[in-house]
Amino acid sequence: MDYSVDRTTLKRSSTRLTLLAHFFGILSVILMLVWLLHYREGIEYDSDNPARVFNVHPFLMFCGFLFLVGEGMMAYKTVYGSHYVQKVVHGMVHMVGLVLGIVGICAVFRFHDMQRLQDMVSLHSWIGLSTFILFCLQWVVGVVTYLAPKASTGTRVGLMPWHVSGGRALLYMGIAAALTGLMERSTGLGIDTRSESRLINFTGLSILLFGIFVDFSVALSRYA
């Protein structure tokens, strides 16, 4: 019996999963913008309105950080070029996501200062900040190991499974942070309109599906 892997089928499946990941990622961005702009007073970091300042946080932490992390993970399938070019794009997209994530984290601390609230008291904040710090470390190690200066071949080969597995784990940690953040915010706001509640639920489901399809795409592409 032939147990060989049909690489053509795997490649096609991986491509379809990548397209689904793009779809749910873009859908999540759209739903997030509709929620923040239509229901929650808009987005502005320098505003005197605490609600507008806070809205910078969910917007940048997903649309800036988590979305770009997922897109960067799929760069090896979506960027046509040499392996080195794909690595550079992978690292640069993640770097942009990290920078936007820093702004998003600063926004929530600014909101807490404006409202005189305590920092780091919720499960969401613990998961979120831990994920962000670990991802920063992952990015630094990846740049030093695979881009400039490059580590030895043995080091790069030995570290690769940990780099890939760690990235996938951090993606799910980021999704957990996003979903707990949505739940915490919707509970804290005391949302009583069915339309806004459904919008938040659909946003959360889209974020979850985005992460799942990114993970499937990355996993299957390694065998295609």
CATH code assigned at 122: 1.20.120.1770
Would residue 36 count as lying in a domain?
A: yes
State which residues form the domain around 144: 7-221
What are the CA-CA distances from residue 190 to residues 17, 60, 109, 207 (Å)? 36, 23, 22, 22
Average pLDDT over residues 60-82: 91
Average pLDDT over residues 191-201: 85
Would residue 86 count as lying in a domain?
A: yes
Would residue 2 count as lying in a domain?
A: no
Asked whether residue 7 carries a pLDDT value surpassing 80, the answer given is: no
Question: What is residue 27's predicted lDDT score, i.e. its pLDDT?
Answer: 98
Residue, of 186 and 99, whose pLDDT is higher: 99
Would residue 1 count as lying in a domain?
A: no
Alpha helices of the chain — where are they, by DSSP H? Answer: 7-34, 50-58, 67-73, 75-78, 83-115, 123-142, 153-189, 194-221
Asked whether residue 93 carries a pLDDT value surpassing 80, the answer given is: yes
pTM: 0.92
Would residue 174 count as lying in a domain?
A: yes
Q: Residue 65: name the closest of 150, 133, 164 by CA.
A: 133
Count CB neighbours of 197 within 10 A. 12
Q: Are 158 and 149 in contact (CB under 8 A)?
A: no
The contacts found for 154-161 with CB under 8 angstroms, 24 or more apart, are none
User: Lowest-confidence range among 5-19, 104-118, 165-179?
Assistant: 5-19
Average pLDDT over residues 145-157: 85
Would residue 197 count as lying in a domain?
A: yes
- pLDDT band for position 10 (cuts 50, 70, 90): confident
Asked whether residue 170 carries a pLDDT value surpassing 90, the answer given is: yes
Q: Are 197 and 186 in contact (CB under 8 A)?
A: yes
Would residue 21 count as lying in a domain?
A: yes
- pLDDT band for position 3 (cuts 50, 70, 90): very low
Per the structure, the count of domains in the chain is 1
Would residue 74 count as lying in a domain?
A: yes
